[in-house]
A and B are shown apart, each in its own frame.
Chain A
Amino acid sequence: MKQIKIDPITRLEGHGKIDIFLNDDGEVSNTYFQIPELRGFEQFCVGRPVEEMPRITTRICGVCPEAHHMASAKACDAVFHVDPPPTGKKLRQLLYNVFFAGDHTLHFYALGGPDFVVGPTAPAAERNILGVVKKVGLEVGGKVIEMRKRTQEVLKVLGGKQTHQVTSLPGGVSKGITAEEAKQIEEHCIWFVEFGKFTIKVFDDIVLKNKEYVDLILSDAFTHRTYYMGLVDEQNRVNFYDGKVRVVDPDGKEFVKYSPHEYLENVAEHVETWTYLKFPFLKKVGWKGFVDGKESGVYCATPLSRLNAADAMPTPLAQAEYEKMYSTLGGKPVHATLATHWARVIELLSAAEMALDLIRDPEITGTHIRNIPTETPTEGVGIVEAPRGTLTHHYVTDEKGIVKKANLIVGTTNNYARISMSINKAARGLIKKGTQVTDGVLNMIEMAFRAYDPCFGCATHTLPGQMPLVVRIRDKNGEILQEIKRL
């Protein structure tokens, strides 16, 4: 028996870790993707005033604090049985869509994109944002920095802080915007839409016009037939902030559509002893292990999953791209994990369009931004789409609004089982009897999970795509037979 460890240097930070076991024939017997850390937010939030939760749970993840801030604020609304007034709700949605556009930019250009822009087989040292800039020009690099700068500026105006926003509270938001601020934000949003169109073109030119990449996207090594999850509005269109959670089966048929308060009837979590992170699955299908298909409760919640689970996009430019994607890739649902990158740039464009619609809404500068809660607080569930998957916050309070119980199912966690399966499939496909494990193998295995944009900030803060890898092949006695480093 041999053991291959794929260890990001971050192992000693308590981040992600992959172990691949080979049998005596040199074939893969099993793989394990471990999450070696737990911070215990659910337990230490007990005793806190529930209205503080949107300011505490942001610290679960500094990369996507906006998602926790919003899911938490919505859970608080539900706890107090209060709805924000239209302006309050629109200000939250505006913040959220601007955040989405900025976050998807970061992933596409800095984390996931380099695989395609620079190339999956390019030297690892070039597979980063600097390599992207080198390939597509300094002008693009400047645009990406400007996109980030502009989104962060808007987030500071709307959220009070660029990172760890503070403005959402039960019943609405603490701060409106002036006509002057609205004008500036509108200019930014116009720019965001142009940047979204530009990014679609970058994807089109670099990925879609390259047959090799399209074949790679559609290859079996990167395919799993699973259920897909995403929030939809009344017309079953993708919505990041609000709506019902819709799940489609591997054939694309609606399996269930549930309201946030019904999540416990639909999602459960499986525990393994070798990792701190739990494995969510569809309760009505059941946990059948790390397998795909209709009989297995494994589901996926990613940009691609949201597009699969919806009937359409909510905005016109994104809708045109949505139709193009499904016609190019052979209809719905798309099971090819790498198509997640395409779905992500479509969502980026849609978020920018949504933000522009919202800032042009005359109500956005209204002054009625909060409804003061009047009912006794009890229990509530808030769900939003985090960029990396459906995010659920569930609080139970006493009659004074002090948290008695908090349960969280965070974005990337939804995908833990499917990510593990993707790693397993890539490893089995690439490591056969007598295979010399090369840098290429590491590349492909890394690509299998990078498409998910797994942000274990919620568990480990790893930003994949920047992971240096070390693979050690050991014999039964732990002796290192082969070591490959990728800097």
Chain B
Amino acid sequence: MAKPKLALYWAASCGGCEIAVLDIHEKILDVANAFDIVFWPVAMDFKYDDVRKMEDKSIDLCLFNGAIRNSENAEIAHLLRAKSKALVAFGSCAVEGGIPGLANLTTKDDIFRFVYKESPSVFLQDGGVYPQPLNTMPDGGLEIPEMWETVKSLDQEIDVDYYIPGCPPVPNQIWGVIEYILSGKPLPAKGSILGAGVKTCCDECKRERKEKKLKQFFRPYEIEAKPDECLLDQGIVCMGPATRDGCGALCPIANMPCRGCYGPPPNVKDQGAKMVSALASVIDAQEPEEIEKILDQIADPIGTFYRFSLAHSILRRVEKS
């Protein structure tokens, strides 16, 4: 029997998902043995044209990482959708926009103005020149893709079968998913979240939790947190209660608060809204005004509660006031 065909692809991402796949170390050889890898730009020399020539639905499994930031990201997403039987949004950027999705807090125009005009290192005589999609040079025409105004998650562009969250997904979870698929067991229901748990990050965190009564919040640099107690109990905003488990609570183990890269827990659509309600219930105050005053101590709620999920949230993008 022919080996199942595997494709891996990166759109608007950092390459960390590729590194996470390589971090399964010697098991990568098992992957190479079990699958016929037909497309993996970072590691293998197959070309876009080769994918285009494939028959529809001829790729058995496609792991797609990265957000959709320009027309080229979108074009290849549509192409791989057509060619793949099972398509997985792999990692935070594909699942929910990820950190590149924070660009939805600003505008393309503001990005260009800073980068090409107002940045303190831009040579002033060059100021005002922006990159253009079409350039007429003395020698001929040159093209570059046009950047989009809004960053999208993968499922805002194409139909997605499964999701593997994490920034990046941790290697043992990646291997777990691959092993499951190789076992030949029936594939999970469409829309399933794979390589993660069904509880919250708090449930796999070893720190001791008590009844929370918060009067004050601290930023991580302001205090030295006690090593065995819940960070949120100590007033450090930790996204654990609003984040799916699966990573092994890596950041709290390193004495740093969770920032939510595994996305919202089951049955929660909006991670930020979930965090607000989680916090509201642990504030040691009765009056709405007092509650608000305590919550106001939190620096940058949007950029913290929606660190990875803004593009996919109910907010999606935030217009400047």
Binding site for B on A (CB under 8 A): 1, 3, 8-15, 19, 21, 29-30, 32, 34, 36-40, 42-44, 46-49, 51-52, 55-56, 58-63, 65, 76, 80, 124-125, 128, 145, 148-149, 152, 159-164, 166-167, 169-171, 174-175, 263-264, 267-276, 278, 280-281, 283, 287, 370, 372-373, 394, 400-402, 405, 407, 409, 457, 461, 463, 466-468, 470, 485-487
Q: How far is the CA of A174 from the CA of B17 in the complex (A)?
A: 25
A475 to chain B, nearest CB (A): 11
Give complex CA distance A145, B167 in Å: 23
Q: Known contacts A32-B142, A273-B135: does B16 contact A267 (CB below 8 Å)?
A: no
Instruction: Encode B80-116 as 1/0 by CB contact (under 8 A) with A.
Output: 0000000000000000001110110110101100111
| A441 CB to nearest chain B CB (Å) | 17
Contact indicator B72/A13 (Cβ below 8 Å):
yes
B122, A269: Cβ atoms under 8 Å? yes
Assess whether A14 is in contact with B132, with CB atoms less than 8 Å apart.
no
Whether A264 lies near B121 (C-beta < 8 A) is: yes
Q: A62-B15, A169-B220 are in contact. Are A487 and B47 (CB under 8 A)?
A: yes
CA of A160 to CA of B220, assembled, Å: 15
Bound-state CA distance A71–B171 (Å) is 26
Q: How far is the CA of A405 from the CA of B115 in the complex (A)?
A: 11
Chain A residues closer than 8 Å to B22, beta-carbon distance:
148
Most B Cβ at <10 Å: residue of A19, A21, A166: A166
A43, A128, A169, A272: which has the most chain B beta carbons within 10 Å?
Answer: A43
- Collect the chain A residues with CB atoms within 8 Å of residue B11's CB: 13-14
16 new A-B pairs (CB below 8 Å) besides A37-B147, A61-B15? A34-B144, A42-B119, A44-B105, A52-B304, A58-B14, A59-B167, A60-B14, A124-B45, A152-B23, A160-B251, A166-B250, A166-B256, A167-B255, A174-B220, A461-B13, A468-B46
B169-221 with Cβ < 8 A to chain A: 171, 219-221
- 29 A-B pairs with CB atoms under 8 Å apart are A3-B141, A9-B41, A14-B72, A15-B41, A29-B139, A32-B137, A42-B114, A46-B106, A49-B303, A51-B220, A52-B259, A56-B102, A59-B16, A61-B16, A62-B18, A65-B14, A80-B221, A148-B22, A149-B25, A163-B16, A268-B121, A276-B131, A372-B223, A401-B219, A402-B299, A405-B120, A407-B120, A461-B15, A487-B47
| Contact residues in A for B171 (Cβ distance below 8 Å) | 162
Q: Is B316 an interface residue (CB 8 A)?
A: no
How far does the Cβ of B231 sit from chain A's closest Cβ, in whole Å?
11
**Of all chain B residues, which has the CB nearest A167?**
B254
How many angstroms between the C-alpha atoms of A364 and B10 in the bound complex?
39
Closest CB of chain A to B244's CB: distance in Å? 16
Given A39-B12, A62-B19, A487-B47, do A268 and B122 touch, yes or no (CB 8 Å)? yes
* Complex CA–CA separation, A34 to B307 (angstroms): 31
- Closest-CB distance, A408 to chain B (whole angstroms): 9
Take A145-B26, A163-B168 as given contacts and tell me if A62 and B17 are in contact as well, using a CB distance cutoff of 8 Å. yes
B308 to A: closest C-beta gap in Å: 9
Nearest opposing residue in chain B for A55, CB measure: B259
Q: Which residue of A13, A274, A409 contacts B121 across the interface (Cβ within 8 Å)? A: A409
